Amino acid sequence: MVVGLVGSRDPGGKRRRTLAATKLGKGAAWLSRTAGLGEGGIIGGRVAMALDRDVLSGLASGRTVVLVTGTNGKTTTTSMVTRALSAAGPVASNSTGANMPDGHVAALMARPEARYAVLEVDEMHLDIAAEQTKPAVILLLNLSRDQIDRVGEVRTVAARLRQVVVDSPQAVVVANADDPMVVFAAEPAQRVVWVSVGGGRWTGDATSCPKCGERIDVSVERWACACGLRRPEPAWAVRDQTVITDSGRELALQLNLPGQVNYGNAALAMAAVAQLGVVPEAALPRIREVSEVAGRYGDLVIGGRKVRLLLAKNPAGWHEMLQLVRASGRPVMLVVNAREADGFDLSWLWDVPFEQLAGLQVVVAGERAADMAVRLRYARVDVTMNPDPVEAVRMTPPGDLDVIANYTAFRMLRVKGEA
């Protein structure tokens, strides 16, 4: 019988409620997979949560939990932390990106034996995840504009994360020292480990100080505000393709994932697992095994052509991916939708330095291909346009192709493509 599971307040019955909700959640997931309706993880998590509102707390009990949040790089960094922490024992994780409470429940249900849990968390749900799981480590990556119509202004998000840090005194906070918004959020931690991810590209959304509202001086290598908020001295740092550990050791990263942004993600992952006793020399070989993350950076065949599929969801993410395709020199296709999961507002297109694409062969596609084409023409980039991504692929020159897509376009292309 499951009647009364939600409302029951009997402390002695908490474990039984969790077990019952978990069993029925797994059953719902199995039915979803059997019926061909999907992987079943999300529906399983939702069923378990409907039956026991404290199921996440019950499933997390007795585990060492790491929570990973920020605007960009959550899924990749979660995968890196999961691989690195596996050196210490079995790990439960939602590494595919289901980063809200139902996804967390599903991930923990799937690995009941795992001593560790590494959970990617949407910024707006970190408070719930932290309250329920009592994390040992909170990893703060970066904060920039993303789906403002859903998430809100960046300083509001930073203030919300700061409160989570205050409410989680047991957690070691591993944080990006180069991002003023993250530093503001992490500042009250009982213990914080600062990591420099290599460069000042995370100051773009911090013209005004999140602490006092005055202007931050970002003209110097180490940003600072007159109120006292300033870039802290990092314990870990990335220089080119090398990570410098908190003990001063220099380790060549040699990653299988491309781009400067992933060097920073790797450094943050190594710093996080070091708080749990995994030494850098044991963590790094496992991080190097990560070559594709939920389809990101992977190769597909679309329209008979081999393409490398890249995900970008906001100005900071697009900036990183543009640097990557610029370095490759391949023809590039940009695919943009504007559905609920993407955010309906496309004004951010004008904050992305698409001028970097000048001289490359560029095709635009997706439901908002016309908006992208207009933006590129103002950037003096010659473009060809076709809203149908498969047809657009066929319009590009022969050879390998880089494709950058936002969230729903990325998912659509993965379905259309062949691995």
> Which distant-in-sequence residues (6+ apart) come within 8 Å of 237 by Cβ?
195, 196, 198, 243, 244, 267
Residue 61 marked as a ligand binder: no
Examine the residue annotation and report whether 102 is marked as an active-site residue of this protein.
Answer: no
The pLDDT assigned to 1 comes to 31
Helices (H), 35-175: 41-51, 55-60, 74-85, 101-110, 126-133, 154-166
Residue 391: HSE in the Cβ half-sphere, 13 Å Cα cutoff: 8
Residue 77 marked as a ligand binder: no
By the 10 Å C-beta count (0-12 exposed, 13-18 middle, 19+ buried), 69 is classed as buried
202 residue type, one letter:
W
Beta bridge partners of 308: 299, 402
Closest of 169, 282, 301, 175 to residue 235, by C-alpha: 175
- CA-CA distance, 297 to 300, in Å (whole number)? 10
Question: Residue 324 has which token pair?
Answer: 């990557």
The pLDDT assigned to 5 comes to 42
Q: What are the 10-residue block averages of pLDDT along the chain, 419 residues in total?
A: 42 73 77 70 81 92 97 94 96 87 92 96 95 98 74 85 98 96 96 88 77 85 90 94 96 93 96 97 96 86 88 89 90 92 86 93 95 96 93 86 93 77
CA distances to 132, 159, 362 from 330, in Å: 46, 41, 9
**3-class DSSP assignment, residue 133:** helix
Residue 227 marked as a ligand binder: yes
3-state helix, strand, coil in the chain (%, to 5): 40, 20, 40
Q: Return the number of other C-beta atoms located less than 10 Å from residue 50's C-beta.
A: 17
Q: Which residue has the tokens 């409302």?
A: 7
Residue 320 marked as a ligand binder: no
Question: Residue 259 has which token pair?
Answer: 């781009």
Strands 191-196 and 236-239 turn out to be parallel
The answer, as to whether pTM is greater than 0.85, is yes
The pLDDT assigned to 104 comes to 95
Q: Which domains does the chain have, with CATH numbers?
A: 54-288 (3.40.1190.10), 299-416 (3.90.190.20)
Strands laid side by side in the 305-311 sheet: 299-302, 305-311, 401-405, 332-335, 362-365, 383-385
By the 10 Å C-beta count (0-12 exposed, 13-18 middle, 19+ buried), 1 is classed as exposed
Selecting among 167, 299, 345, 400, the annotated active-site residue is 345
390 residue type, one letter:
V
